[in-house]
Structure 1
Amino acid sequence: MSNAFWRPLAPSLERDRLLEAVLNHVPFDGWSPAALKAAAGDLGLTQEEAEREFPGGVLDLIGYHSVRADRQMGEALAALDLAKLSLRRRVIAVIRARLEQNASARESVRAALGVLSQPRNLPVAMALLYRTVDAVWWAAGDTATNFSFYTKRATLAGVYMATLMVWLNDRSEGASETWAFLERRIDDVLKIQKARGRVEAALPDLPGLFRAFRQATAARHRRGVRPDWRADGDAKREPPSSAPES
């Protein structure tokens, strides 16, 4: 199957066991079939049994590891009272909880990024990043489904990846440098969000205008009215080309 059509595996206890065993071998073998084979041996499984759990091989292993961390983040946050916090504090708490799920597996995360950065694996990398930032926004209590839905996730993706890079190399006590960096980035983002909100409030409802235009155009076509691309007095004017601009 093409990586463009990759889908995460469903969680299971057997996959959890195998993944934990694989993580013990990643520092030596990387995310590789050799690591999966060694993990299977540790658990008394055959290589074929292990491969049935992760039929997509290395990408399934890395994907399962990332999605499991998203799930564990949600479980860790269940013990916190996020509702009483400001949006800023909620987002910081959620991102911190997500990174802390891999506190004992930093080198495995680093190795996973190396695999995901390969061009053929970028569709999987983008899918996993989107799942994480989407989970972060929902956990932070943001349920907006308007035009800002995707812009918020794109912005947070940049913050998350930058913070992840700092975290991977952070040797400060309690990762204090990472959390200070995260707070600065979130402050920057919120300033931009406020400025953009003021601009959007002054603009017309652009999505609404586009919908109205599309509906009006469809109605004209149903009545058999063809669009006239000619300017007044210019009968020879050609309709605009449908080819995209270079």
Structure 2
Amino acid sequence: MARAGAAILEAALPHVAFDGWSEATFRAAITESGQPEALARALYPRGGLDLALAFHRAGDARMAERMEAADLTGMRYSEKVAFAIRTRLEVIDDPETVRRGMTLFALPHHAGEGARALWGTADAIWHALGDTSRDLNWYSKRAALSAVYGATVLYWLGDGSAGQAATAEFIDRRIADVMRIEKFKAGLRDNPLARIMRNRPGAREADPVAPHPAEKDPAEALPGRWR
């Protein structure tokens, strides 16, 4: 089943640039892969949409494989994140497949699938970097990285610089933006008024004012993990 699915996806790729992730591409892939149509429909019941999602997940898997083999010794965490994002882009052989995918996921009825695919990439990157958070940081890290990666892909698709150096610089700027926001939020938590509110009489144990990062394991705090 896995081989059949991979064969159909591989056969679809040359058609995506011309027909997008469409029914026409799906039908051409069935014919050229030599797989039975019933099997193809079972593997990809929504045709081109499921092919696009499978292509995206395959890219996440290839990125994870490269990250596992990479030597990240001596890198700061923010540098590791940037490296992972660049690696995810490097495993894309044809940017047009991504461009066509973004066109597909921009449609209102497919926007939810696109958002989930983006979240999946962020999750794959954090997993590849050994993220062990289990609290709200699990969500905040993936939300922040989803925004960074989504913006980066848009920039990358229009980058004509040598070796895509401009994209690398863009990634560094976006990560720096996240760190600035987190430092600002940490400053608010350290504000005397916030501490008064946190310690006010009758405050619930689970107060909405989050503890200062210094009061929790720095290895679990988003800013610390991105340094």
2:60 equivalent to 1:63: no
Q: Which of 180, 204, 209 is equivalent to 2:206?
A: 209
Picking from 142, 145, 151, the partner of 2:140 is 151
1:173 matched to 2:170: no
- Amino acid corresponding to residue 141 of structure 2 in structure 1: K
Whether the 8 Å CA contact 2:4–2:35 is kept in 1: the answer is no
1:37-95 deviation per Cα after TM superposition (whole angstroms, max 9, x unaligned): 11222222343332222122222111111111111110011111225321111100111
1:125 aligns with 2:114: yes
Structure-1 separation of matches of 2:167 and 2:102 = 18
Shift of 1:210: 5.6
Structure 1: segments with no counterpart, 5+ residues: 1-10, 212-246
Tell me, what secondary structure is at the counterpart of 2:55?
A: helix
Aligned residues of 1:37 and 1:50 also touching (Cα < 8 A): no
2-side partners of 1:20 and 1:176: how far apart? 29
Please point out which of 14, 24, 34 is paired with 2:14. 24
Highest relative contact order (Cα 8 Å, sep 6+), 1 or 2? 2
Partner residue of 2:23?
Answer: 33
Rate the CA distance shift 1:143–1:196 in 2: closer, same or farther, 3 A.
Answer: farther
User: Counterpart amino acid of 2:52?
Assistant: I
Q: Please state whether the residue corresponding to 1:182 is helix, strand or coil.
A: helix
| Counterpart residue number, 1:229 | none
Going from structure 1 to structure 2, the CA distance change for 1:39 and 1:89 (only over 3 Å counts) comes to same
More helix by share: 2
**1:195 aligns to what?**
184
Structure 1 partner of 2:150: 161
Please name the residue that 1:225 is paired with. Answer: none
C-alpha distance in 2 between matches for 1:101 and 1:16: 16
- For residues 194-243 of structure 1, give each alpha carbon's deviation from its aligned partner in whole angstroms, at most 9, with x where no partner exists: 332343456549994269xxxxxxxxxxxxxxxxxxxxxxxxxxxxxxxx
**Preserved CA contact (<8 Å) 1:31 1:112:** yes
Rounded Cα–Cα distance in structure 2 between residues aligned with 1:23 and 1:35: 8
Structure 2's unaligned 5+ residue stretches are: 209-227
Alignment partner, residue 185 of structure 1: 174
* In structure 1, C-alpha distance between the alignment counterparts of 2:188 and 2:3, rounded to whole Å: 49
User: Relative to 1, partners in 2 of residues 1:207 and 1:157: Cα closer, same or farther, differing over 3 Å?
Assistant: farther
SS at 1:55's partner residue? coil
What value does the CA root-mean-square deviation take over the aligned residues? Answer: 2.3
For the 8 Å contact 1:167–1:175, the answer to whether it is kept is yes
Of 93, 103, 107, the residue aligned with 1:114 is 103
Say which SS state the counterpart of residue 115 (structure 1) adopts.
helix
Q: Conserved in 1, the CA contact under 8 Å of 2:8 and 2:35?
A: no
Contact 1:82 1:140 (C-alpha < 8 Å) held by counterparts: no
The answer to whether the 8 Å contact 2:68/2:128 transfers is no
Give the aligned partner of residue 141 of structure 1. Answer: 130
- Report what 1:51 is aligned to: 41
Answer whether contact 2:22 2:49 (CA < 8 A) is retained: no
Q: Distance in 2 between matches of 1:209 and 1:161?
A: 33
